[in-house]
Amino acid sequence: MTRSNTTAGPDSMITAVGTYLPPWGAARRRTPGLDEDAVTLCVAAGLAALRSVDPADVGRVVLVSRDLPLIEGSNSAAVLAGLGLRADTEICEVIGGAPAVLDALTGAAPGTLVIGADTSPAGAAAAYCGTSGAALTASGRITRSMPVVTRDAFGRRADYADPRLVRVRGLGASLDQLDRSVPIAAAAGLAGRDAKSVCATEPRDLPTEGPSAALFALATLAELGRPAGQMQRLLAVEQATLGLADLGPGEINVQRDERAPRPVPSGTTAPGSEMSISLAAYERAFDAKLRLVAARCRRCGTLAYPHRYRCLGCGSEDPTDAVALPRDAEIYTLSTIHVPVPGLVSPYTIVVAELGDSGVRVTVRLTGAAAGSVGIGDRGRLVFRLVAVRSGVPDYGYAFLPDDDTEVTA
Ligand SMILES: [Zn+2]
């Protein structure tokens, strides 16, 4: 089945782009941490994109991934909670690759946050479409079938592994059907040699090949700086399906949450059954846990996290106000556990972290650093992570990420 559309669509304005790479693995081939999945990757990239945006301006979120953990639903609620967006924000989950991200971006109304997430290689990126920035215009699309890699409903993968067929009858035949009068500045979804063959100049390596690749390419084009008044053409590829879009002049705020890569820590796991989930307890704790919200006593102002029926400061049982807790944190005390337990890789470090100047302390796991590599008084921030997977249900919450001078800043 072939569909071709070279009619230019309406412009959308890309205001900000945020990127996130897990700290594990090789520079251009990252591995998700054991406490990461497509949902936590989406949250990290979305928060990076929203650093310069008022969350109240976000009216719609589009998640594009082929790796969302809950195919039957509930990913969206976790992403909205992790991003700190209202639960009535419109959100849609799209199964797609890099061309689907271009479609979501070029058709986006102001106030739309588009996030793409990949788990192998791992990375996520997001773009906020607002009323300022650089225009992105759809300039071509072709949808063709060339299922060289397959994954069925049971997760079984197969790779047809015929690079010549892919190049000639997949990518090549699809490119022949598109308008090639404008040179391509960046290609998302293609590995090194194929990206070089279609780009007019030496392309920058991108860390992912799925939906987030289109957004990483956008970040790279925005950072490279564009000749005044000139547009740049972006190609997005998934198998034999292609999308083209033109990025106009204008400033895009790029925020990268990317640290230098390090080897995945080794550890041991214990055999045995893991704790099963209580969905009633999961539901009760969901908002406070995923939104990091404390209850403030209306009488004396004491904060309680998690919420308590009776105030610890004055004993009041009156209703409380929900207040968001600060994310910046300092290690109050910690312990590194070496005893293997089912469901966790040991050793692991648990820290009691004091949040900003709130006086609230939370007990969370260390993330993004080897167990035992931090000490009392170290500073960092709380980040949205997978706490456990119980009975197949991802249980999200927060972990302590220590400050690190290898962080890339835009
Ligand atoms: Zn009180």
Please tell me the predicted confidence (pLDDT) of residue 161: 85
How far apart are the CA of 319 and the centre of ligand 1, in A?
10
User: Cα 214 from chain centroid?
Assistant: 13
Cα separation values, 290 from 153, 217, 267, 293, Å: 29, 30, 27, 8
How far apart are the CA of 303 and the centre of ligand 1, in A?
8
How far apart are the CA of 124 and the centre of ligand 1, in A?
42
Please tell me the predicted confidence (pLDDT) of residue 180: 85
How far apart are the CA of 359 and the centre of ligand 1, in A?
14
CA dist., res. 325 & res. 347, Å (int): 29
> pLDDT tens track of the chain, all 410 residues?
334 444 444 579 999 999 999 999 998 899 999 999 999 999 999 999 999 999 999 999 999 999 999 988 899 999 999 999 999 999 999 999 999 999 999 999 999 999 999 999 999 999 999 999 999 999 999 999 999 889 988 889 999 888 889 889 999 999 999 988 899 999 999 988 899 999 998 888 999 999 999 999 999 999 987 777 789 999 999 999 999 999 999 999 999 999 999 998 888 888 877 788 899 999 999 998 999 999 999 999 999 998 888 999 999 999 999 999 999 999 999 999 999 888 788 999 999 999 999 999 999 999 999 999 999 999 999 999 999 888 889 999 999 999 987 666 44
How far apart are the CA of 310 and the centre of ligand 1, in A?
8
How far apart are the CA of 314 and the centre of ligand 1, in A?
4
How far apart are the CA of 356 and the centre of ligand 1, in A?
20
> Does this chain's domain 3-258 share its CATH topology with 265-289+327-410?
no
Domain ranges in the chain?
A: 3-258, 265-289+327-410, 293-324
- CATH of range 3-258; options 3.30.2320.30, 1.10.1370.30, 3.40.47.10, 3.40.190.10: 3.40.47.10
Tell whether pTM > 0.85: yes
Please tell me the predicted confidence (pLDDT) of residue 9: 47
DSSP string, 191-253: -HHHHHHHBSSPPPP-S-SSHHHHHHHHHHHHHH---TT--EEEEEEETTEEEEEEE-SS--E
Q: What CATH code would you report for 265-289+327-410?
A: 2.40.50
Please tell me the predicted confidence (pLDDT) of residue 7: 45
The neighbourhood of ligand 1, an ion, using CB within 5 A, equals 297, 299-300, 302, 311, 313-314, 316
Please tell me the predicted confidence (pLDDT) of residue 66: 95
Please tell me the predicted confidence (pLDDT) of residue 5: 43
Q: Is 97 left (phi over 0), alpha (psi -120 to 50) or beta?
A: beta
CA dist., res. 313 & res. 396, Å (int): 29
Please tell me the predicted confidence (pLDDT) of residue 408: 60
How far apart are the CA of 296 and the centre of ligand 1, in A?
8
How far apart are the CA of 351 and the centre of ligand 1, in A?
27
